[in-house]
Amino acid sequence: MVLKVLKFGGTSVTNGSREIIDIISENKDNKLIIILSAFSDITNILHCYDKLSIKILIKRLKYIHNNFIEKYIKHPVQLHRQLNVLYDNLGHIIYYHEKSRQLDCIVNSYGEKCSVIIYNYFLKENDYKNLVIWSEYLICTEDNYSDSFPYMISTKMCIRAFLKPQLKKHDIVLTTGFIGSNKNGCTTNLSRNGSDLSATVIGSCLKPEQIIIYKDVDGIMTCDPRKVPFAKLINTVNYKTISELCYFGSHVLHSQCLIPFKLRSIPLLIKNIFNKNSLGTLILEDYKSKSTVDALTSITDHAMLTIKGMGMNGFSGLLLNILKVIAEYNINIPFITQASSEQNICLCIQAKYANIVQIRLIETFENEIDTSQIDSIDIDDNIAIITVIGENMIHRYGIAGIIFETLGKEHINIIAISQGSCERSISFIVDKKDEIKALLLLHTIIL
């Protein structure tokens, strides 16, 4: 009997219940920890709780859940009773508490709670006894409300105390994805699509034989197939390459879900619940890829901020102060460059923050602008950040040459370039209109 951690995302929970039963039956000799997301769209609805009346909000949740219950649960009376308690609780907390970031987390957590209760009944009706454990008791997180990262040491202690003993008595344990709690016991969320992270956190504390994340796509592709229709499935890949890929825009996996895996060689498989014939993508700690370039990604929802000035060279602390302004808003910077002439700093942030950051930078550097050390602080949101990823690019010459020659020949202009010394990825910025052409060309030539 081996232990496996299975995670089912929103689409699987909503439309893949038959497949979930098949998967559990294939694993009837194993112990399973099953992590569930909310039904599709539920978290989006909960997110708008302050814009909807409580009655409408609960009506929408009920509509989605009842659709499932009517189709798949034969004796739903008890289940409805339990769900009604949850809906009433939810209504009560929204009604009595002032809107706050803490309340947001509590409200958001009801999606996963409902899923777990519904599946507890559904599995029991299909003769699979199972135990429910709320993940607030398992995953200890920082206090960053809806974007909290787990503390691994405390989480491990909780998992040892509350989950491990139950695995001796129960073959199937169901738990909520996405939810944890802070050190005061208040509910926190692991950022959107965080159930992948729940699976890897719980998995890394227990060392199962495998973690399988079920999605509605075949796995990780060499490029987004909506942009490059001939993109191929990546069959096997290592942890480092996959984290580069998730970070730079492959949205198949949560971008932080590999972090808990550091030094724990647990195989992670991503599979399409609706396509049994696809082998999925297997992520192994030490897999050595045979190709030079493994994948291409591109993101278009970012804007480029350019801080320019002939008087900027030798101006110490400038970058620090720019970054401080951006950090005040808790904004991530996936791309940054400064050439050694020091007359221009270019960085990318999500486009929705660009205006406010520009205004704050202009205020902060009022004096420098006045004395012409800084000439301008501009935004361009008409850009795409393309990243070429490959573990074998390290110590290999000529790749950057091929990339830029290929684009140059087709008159695609490169606006900025960034490559870290780990040499696993090269990112560059092009005009948005050139994005697809660049991806198609590069995929054909280097992949």
Q: Minimum CB separation from Mg ion for residue 150, in Å?
A: 18
Q: What does the DSSP 8-state code read for residue 258?
A: T
Q: Of 195 and 243, which has the nearer Cβ to ligand ASP?
A: 195
Helix axes 110-125, 54-72, angle to 10 degrees: 20
Q: Which does 280 bind (CB under 5 to 8 A by kind): ligand ASP, Mg ion, none?
A: none
Entry field: residues in the chain: 447
Question: Which position among 4, 6, 10, 155 is part of the footprint of ligand ASP (CB under 6 A)?
Answer: 10
Cα gap 437→344, rounded to integer Å: 28
Interface region with ligand ASP, contact rule CB under 6 A, candidates 87-95, 191-199, 231-239, 396-404: 191-199
Interface with Mg ion in residues 32-91 (CB under 5 A) = 37
Pick the closest to residue 324 from 333, 313, 314, 315 (CA basis).
333
Quote the DSSP letter at residue 392. G
Choice from 61, 109, 135, 177 touching ligand ASP (CB under 6 A):
177
Near ligand ASP by CB under 6 A: residue from 43, 141, 243, 418: 43
Distance between CA atoms of 257 and 272, rounded to whole angstroms?
18
Cα dihedral 356/253/12/201 (nearest 10)? -100
Burial per residue of 390-426, b for 16 or more beta-carbon CB atoms within 10 angstroms, e otherwise: bbbbeeeeebbeebeebbeeeebebbbbbbeeebbbb
- C-beta of 253 vs 269, nearer to ligand ASP: 253
- Residue 111 binds which entry of Mg ion, ligand ASP, none, with Cβ cut-offs from 5 to 8 Å by kind? ligand ASP
Contacts of 320 (CB under 8 A, 6+ apart): none
Among 17, 181, 187, 193, binds ligand ASP (CB under 6 A): 193
Identify which of residues 216 and 285 has a Cβ nearer to Mg ion in the complex. Answer: 216
Least Cβ distance, residue 10 to ligand ASP (angstroms)? 5
Is there a contact between 110 and 43 (Cβ–Cβ < 8 Å)? no
When CB distances are held under 5 to 8 angstroms depending on the partner's kind, the choice from ligand ASP, Mg ion, none that residue 192 binds is: ligand ASP
- Under the binding rule (CB under 6 A), the answer on residue 195 touching ligand ASP is yes
- In the sheet that holds 335-338, the strands lie side by side as 335-338, 344-350, 302-308, 376-380
Among 60, 62, 80, 192, binds ligand ASP (CB under 6 A): 192
Q: How far apart are CA 124 and CA 287, in angstroms?
A: 39
Residue 416 contact partner, candidates ligand ASP, Mg ion, none, CB within 5 to 8 A by sort of partner: none
Name the residue nearer to Mg ion (CB basis): 194 or 309: 194
Q: How far is the CB of 367 from ligand ASP (least distance, A)?
A: 43
208 binds ligand ASP (CB under 6 A): no
Of 190-198, 210-218, 312-320, 379-387, which segment contacts ligand ASP by CB under 6 A?
A: 190-198
Using rule CB under 5 A, residue 10 touches Mg ion? yes
- Does residue number 37 form part of the binding site for ligand ASP (CB under 6 A)? yes
Residue 414 near residue 434 (C-beta atoms within 8 A): no
Structure tokens at 429: 């910025």
* Residues engaged in binding ligand ASP (CB under 6 A): 9-10, 37-38, 43, 111, 177-178, 192-195
* Residues engaged in binding Mg ion (CB under 5 A): 10, 37
